[in-house]
Amino acid sequence: MITVENVTKSYGEKVAVDNLSFTVKPGVVTGFLGPNGAGKSTTMRMIVGLDRPDHGMVTVNGIPYADHTAPLHQVGALLEARAIHPGRSAYNHLLTLAATTGIPRRRIDEVLALVGLTSVGKKRAGAFSLGMGQRLGIAAALLGDPEVVMLDEPVNGLDPEGIQWIRGLLKSLADEGRTVFISSHLISEIALVADHLVVVGKGKLIADTTVSEMQRAASGLVVQVRSPRATELADLLLDDGVSIQSGAGGNDLTVSGLEAAVIGDRALAAGLPIHALIPTEVSLEEAFMRMTHDSVEYQPTLEASAR
Ligand SMILES: Nc1ncnc2c1ncn2[C@@H]1O[C@H](COP(=O)(O)OP(=O)(O)OP(=O)(O)O)[C@@H](O)[C@H]1O
């Protein structure tokens, strides 16, 4: 279990994490999602004590990381900045980590097998592909047989087979009762591997939800409506948070911000006929973009996005 409570962290004037609170529970894969610069890596660094909150508290299994007597058994982390000596073999890289933390040698063979690198364990890590490098990073994170596994952008750059592999691995770690916490700035990546989502933007919590709830909430809110009295209906529905676009024929409306049932009820109450009422499927990408639009730190300028 990871608990982040009212955490704020600034670098100079820049507020990287802003009064953030959430809990990551054991037994499920939780995705940590947000646009670039949202504060994900900063939060993860605070979880493993590489950075200190200015305010608030971060605990792992009830106590701050630094206060654990055997922290590698508590949290295994793969953070973005990986330091692997390119001339060293995968085995020796893990041996160095194990030796400095009192982990027995046999565990190295176990984690190499777990990530599918047994046959290349003696090869130079410098010759590894991106996917093999990711596997080695994950092997290092699992070395201490940790209760909490935390990986920063683990799917980044993996091919479909690699993604499928990591999905299976993360699910099996969660099924063993571990806490699994992974970050990404792409919802398409995280939806493939996570069940629960913590969404942040500009250092603040935007949503603490499941992938399916997020899809459902976003999907229901764009509705295609057809009515021979569309203009009157549009006037009736228009309100704060509701946007309406008219179709070319004059009878069609695209209503965002109201559920189909509410539109139907209001039309009935006003005696306006409805000929079609169709909730539109919104992709997860669109749901995520809507949710985080105001929190994207580096918006493309109109000129750049038009190019
Ligand atoms: N050591 C630092 N010094 C100054 N500013 C920093 C430092 N670390 C992070 N920041 C700033 O804090 C904000 C949050 O950065 P962070 O790396 O935590 O975001 P992120 O969500 O992990 O982004 P990404 O998806 O791009 O990795 C950014 O604006 C970043 O520039």
Q: Calculate the average pLDDT of the chain.
A: 88
Q: Name the residue ranges covered by the structural domains of the chain.
A: 2-210, 221-281
Topology (CATH level 3) of domain 2-210: Rossmann fold (3.40.50)
Per residue in 76-118, pLDDT (tens digit) is: 999 865 667 878 899 999 999 898 888 999 999 999 999 999 9
Which residue among 17, 42, 48, 198 has the greatest number of ligand 1 atoms within 8 angstroms of its CB, and so is best to mutate?
42
Residues 273-291 have a mean pLDDT of 85
Q: Is the pLDDT of residue 14 over 50?
A: yes
| Residue nearest to ligand 1 atom 24, measured at CA | 36
Model ipTM value: 0.96
Architecture of domain 221-281: 2-Layer Sandwich (3.30)
CA distance 197 to 183: 10
Q: Determine the distance separating the centroid of ligand 1 and the alpha carbon of 51, expressed in angstroms.
A: 12
Least confident span in 16-30, 91-105, 236-250, 282-296: 282-296
Please report the beta strands in the chain, taking only residues with DSSP state E, as ranges in sequence order. Answer: 2-11, 14-24, 29-33, 55-60, 75-78, 148-152, 179-184, 196-201, 204-210, 222-226, 243-246, 252-256, 276-279
pLDDT of residue 305: 36
Full-model pTM: 0.82
pLDDT of residue 240: 76
**For 104, phi and psi rounded to 5 degrees?**
-65, 150
